[in-house]
Structure 1
Amino acid sequence: MKYNLDVLNDKEFEDLCKELYDIHYGVNFQVFKAGRDGGIDLVFAGKVENEIVVQCKHYINSSYSLLLEKLKNTELSNLKKMSPTPGRYIVATTLPLSPAQARDIKAVLTPYVRNTNDIYGRKRIENLLSRNPEVEKKFFKLWLTSTNVMLNILHHASVYNSEFHRAKIVANTKLYVLTSNFNNAISKLSENKFLIISGAPGVGKTTLAFMLICERLARGYDLVYCDGRIAEVEHAFSDDPLKKQIFFIDDFLGANLHDIKTQKNPENKLISFMQKFQFAKNKYLVLTSRTTILNQAKYDYEHLKNSGLTTLSQYELKLQQYSMLDKATILYNHVFFSQLGKEFRQSFFNKEVYKNIIQHRNYFPRLIQFITDESKYKGSGFKTVKDYIYDKLEHPDEIWEYAFEKQLSNEDRYLLLCLFTLGGNNVPEDQLLIAFESRYRYEIKNNNIQRNPRAFQHSLKKVLNGFVNAVHDSSTSKNLYTFFNPSIVDFLLGYMKGNNAEIIATLSSVVYVEQITVYFDVKINDKVYIEPSIRQELFQVLTPKFSELKSIEDRSCVPLQILDLLQSFFEPNISSIQHIASDLVEKIVADLSFINSGKLSFLIWCIGLHEEWPEVIKKIKTHFERLILGMLNNVEIENDFDHFKELFKIYNQDFSTFLDNNNNKLQLQLKLGAVFSDMIKDIYHDENDLIRYIGEYGMSSAENRVRDHVWDRYIEFVNGISLGDYFDEMDHEYELDASRIVNDIQEQYMNNWDDDDFSPTPISESKPFEDPWVEIDRLFSKN
């Protein structure tokens, strides 16, 4: 099997050589600790000192000529000074060596190297690894990136290769430090079948999830990845107990607190989806969330809190769980695997510097990623790298500020702000370009900015990989852009808050209605607050643009979005914009194809409470029945019915008269049945109770019990949307396969007697040291 030795740092390579040579030579080598090794990495002292000496040369992206030069000019000199002279001298390198090159090395190191058998190139080391699988298990990074395992991962993640592709797996694995978090998390996943990884921003939630999933993919589980609504992936859940699946939903409650209010994943859907994994064989679910957002969801979602699911399988990732050696290795890996200039790199090997970083109260992995990025230091104005590092440690909230304000051009900042207003996640290049050009034209016209040719392309190239990541969506042949990590959105939220000049410039140049609504609000919350002092100016600027605004969604009713914006953002101007709102209602009525029923219902409900909009209310009354039928036609979930019945009362319409029309009644009945049929799969059934019924009364009785239980839930559903008084006037039909539900529960019950094909074998972690600083100093001893 072929191994990727390049994912190891130089100290890990030394440790690997020790493990392999201990077995191969049947002796116990010692690893040289901190301090100049004088040509020794490993040594065995049997009857005499230096009986066997090993020199380990881990060369990544380097050449054989440099290795030979190092051996000739440095190591040979060290050997001549060594006392006593080594009885046997072995050279191990990660470079591939031909027989001729091995002979050249022997010639250079004669008489210390006896023969070419004491020279190990990449292939010989890989052969030793293949013959010693117990060593492979101790080096998780090697196992994960080995040829066979990597092919397995890529095969089982092939549908979602934008997230789990070879380059990203290797890049993440290089930097990854295996801690107790990994084994603890995988044990909890095995026990409960789903896992919520929570923690503060930048603590490593997504990285831990990524490595857990790679480990499962390597063992034959298929990945189902979701970065949006659960409804988009629940169809992929297989009822086949032999089909191995792991589902991954990153930021399942949203990236910011306001996302909870959008109900991306409705509460009942969330609960039933988690419960589904508890009773299914070979099915696992991994979710991530910021702690603050998860805690807010527990507060807002009573059923979610009462279900106990979030407590049952929450794994809180805390900085306190990282040992000093863990922190040191994370820092060392970032330095070792980065292409850094000599001066910048050397600064991290200063004992005072690395010790202060590791022990600093503000240490967290994302900050380490930032301070080891040399491009952030260049042009920062700090006289020394040490001063720069210490400043960022003291002010971690400013890690993006200097780069944004001092290292980017105006055009670069316009681009990032446009990406921010578009949501900052998987934004298509054509939409980003249109938004950027609009902002650029605004700046040229209002602030005398000089147009630079190919400004968009130049700025995009500059911010890529530093502020922005790009992936290619093969299904649409478009490039999609996402912020490098969520902390950039946090920074831009802070940057915009109270920055009235930037708020006006940003909102005055919008092209898409979402650029206003995603991160801006007239209420004080975690969004950018639009102060009353600038609302009138914004109103005057935006009013002429309402007829031109577009939506980032293809299937969206733009007039409805704009009407919602008017009603929520510019309430003090209600009387003066009545004619605009009236025209928007006409446009909505003209095309009800892609309306959001819940939003339209709520909006019309709000408008009905405004006495200042008599013209708009009159327009709605004129088209009331058409609007109601349009809502019904587009209803998707239970919440879309929230204000349905109440609208009749607000607009003085008789619901009984509406129902007297057989077509209206039929459409309402069909929609109630369709929505509830979709809800049936989320209804919880007491498995133990049904299994008892099957045993005592037979399958038929159990099926009737399911039918009765579902009927009770249906009555609750109809009463919950205020239609209970008209229950007897309607026919009620929904799709229920009681036999399948009972059979599935019985099958799951039987399968639960068998173990899953999940073997939570603990992965070997670093052994604890009596004094971790001895090993930390060894890490940073040679550079």
Structure 2
Amino acid sequence: MPNNYLSLSPSDFETLAADILSALHSVHFERYGEGRDGGVDGKFLTNDGGIWIVQAKRYRDVKALLRQMEHEQKKMLQLPQTPARYFLVTACSLSPANKAAIQQVMGPFILSTGDIYGAEDLDALLHQYPAIYRKHHRLWLHGVEQLTQYLQRAHYIRAEATYERIIHESKSYVAHSAEHAINQQLATQNSCLIVGDPGIGKSATAGQIALRHLLETPQAELIWIDDRNFEQALQLIRTDSPQIIVMDDFLGATFLHDDGILAFQRDWQALLRTAQRANERLKLLFTTRNYILEQALAQIEDSQPLIAELCQRAVYIEHNNARFRVELVYNLLRKANLDTEQIAQLVQDKLYWPLIKSSNFSPRLLKMLCSRLPDIPATQLAEHIKTGLEGQHQLWQQVFQRLSPEAQCLLYLCAIAGKYANVTELKRAFHTLYPQVQNRLAPFNSFDRALIELEPTFIKTEQHLGDIWLNPTNPSLIDFLHKNIADNPPLIDALINSLEHFDWGLDHFKVTAPSKHPIAISAKQREHLMHKLIELLPQHSSKLMQTFTNGDGALQWVNQPDSFGARLTKLWRTVMSNAQQAEATLQQIQFLLPSDAQSWEGLLLQGGMQELLDLTRYLAVDQQERIWLLAMDNLNNSEDAAALAEFYQQEPKAKRLFKQQKRKFIRKLLSVCSEEIDRANDADFLDAIMHDLYRIEEATGANISDQKYHIYSKIDDSFAGDESIFSDSVTYYQRPDHQEDLAEFNLQISLLTENVESLFSRLGSECAGLHT
């Protein structure tokens, strides 16, 4: 359908002419504002000092145009420099004879009729360059078809921003070895799936490959989609124009919890089929994370052959190795605009090594750190790099401020959730917190988008037991977030409202005055928090742990939630030192406490003996005696025995009860200690039992000589050659605390050391060349 170029204003038509010729000749024509222009609407200066000129004429008929061109020829003769080329762009239709007549009038400035563009030529070029057509919306914003395209304007605005970002990233981009395989698949299969850990460079690699494709095929269009929106991708496909579509993190961050899987795989299959039939005019790049792909494949049906084939040939980007780090740091420093003195200091003190070897290596933080180096005096570079790598508060502040509101909300939750937070619980908390902070509901898929934005600079995710668990990456980041929270009382209130896990409320807030927890709260907030904790008290929450097996000593992941007794113990520990607060708390939790003896027996076995015995002080007398006798018959270990012995010493009513059967009481206390000594195969464990025995002796006057002799005998046996007490056969639970294993990395660095120092020694001359 022909375009009506007369609908454009003179200025718009001149801009259109400059845009089309810039794209066609891969140059940039400088535009001039409205007014007298001396016959020049656009100008380009060539490397050899020549000048190309664009003239745009918005005329309805050829006769009027020819009359005007006689005047334009005179203007050209008056220019101080004769143009090397003259281009004419007009709004009217031109025949070959018309073009020949114009060339004759404009001689010698128009070299050939190929430099004259009429309406038909403009229509063809706009079809070739659809981005220019979309930019000049007055050409097409009429009718239903054009209006439909206009409704996608948000996508095209994002596409332009994405293109600019990719161009900027190319300056410091370090290529992965997997690029050849990706390019080969795009050429032969028209699609490729890039898989790797968060932060490994999947998106950057896809962006640079897409950029290279655009440079090789200038008329191609880039479509970048990062919200799993297959429907939008299908709507944006143009059968008459080459395109490359990047579906970044297209499975999201928590595919395991997503709905609509059937529709998702149907659209995925349709997109692949469209690319297969597009005669190589449509290229598809997908990126996703390793564990998310595993989750997706476990749920997607085998009846989708194109999906299965794509996944089978997926290209995996491996973990950043030493060479990758070296090249990234070199590129960042090379582009940092450091002066000669700074570069000399950096090379002399080998300050690149801390950046390369950092245990908190993060491309995003390194880019931020290096961008600030030009403002640092040369003599202070070493200290600045050291404090920056250790997570300086100001550095975290700068990075945090650049995050989206959704990512900031999730990061605050991670700060109070601690290690191995369950993604399902975090998601519920996120959708409670976000409206309180932003005064609106969280956007669709915002939780997944926040996860993707935060990993791996701020958080790391792991998959265990069919679920996803989050860890903050850096202790200094948590310190920064805790300070932010502590300085923001409304945020504290919102976080308390959003608690989904009992431990989140206890581990970071100062519930009691003498507390080492970092977030101080007011008396009103403390009351608010206690109400929330009591609300969460009966609810089971996730708790990821590792256990040593009794067999080969291997570690095994388990989700071991605290029992009600364990949670009650933690709650009571916060109030037991304040009788008034303890009594008030008991009134609020009374309805949750067991009413029968059998249930109390289970509670005593689950919880801490010291705290639960203290709680009984506030119960009715008939309940107290029944529970104390149950405690004597249900001791778990020496620690329970010592707690009951000290309660006997401190509580007069308990002392009267147990004095009536003191021999049985002492026998029960010492019997559980002896049984535990028999089981103990660890010197530290035996030492702890000995400490509990001394507590029992002091509280009750019991004779502990047999138990002491038993412990000494086991220790003597160990020195006689029995190593059994040092074996790992005891089963116990612990929270994992992973640290990056740098052995392989350090080996790679040692092999590269000479080359690295030679490379950075040339940094001064490289940067001097850039400055000149």
TM-score w.r.t. the length of structure 1 is 0.35
TM-score w.r.t. the length of structure 2 is 0.35
Please tell me whether Structure 1 or Structure 2 has the larger radius of gyration of its CA atoms. Answer: 2
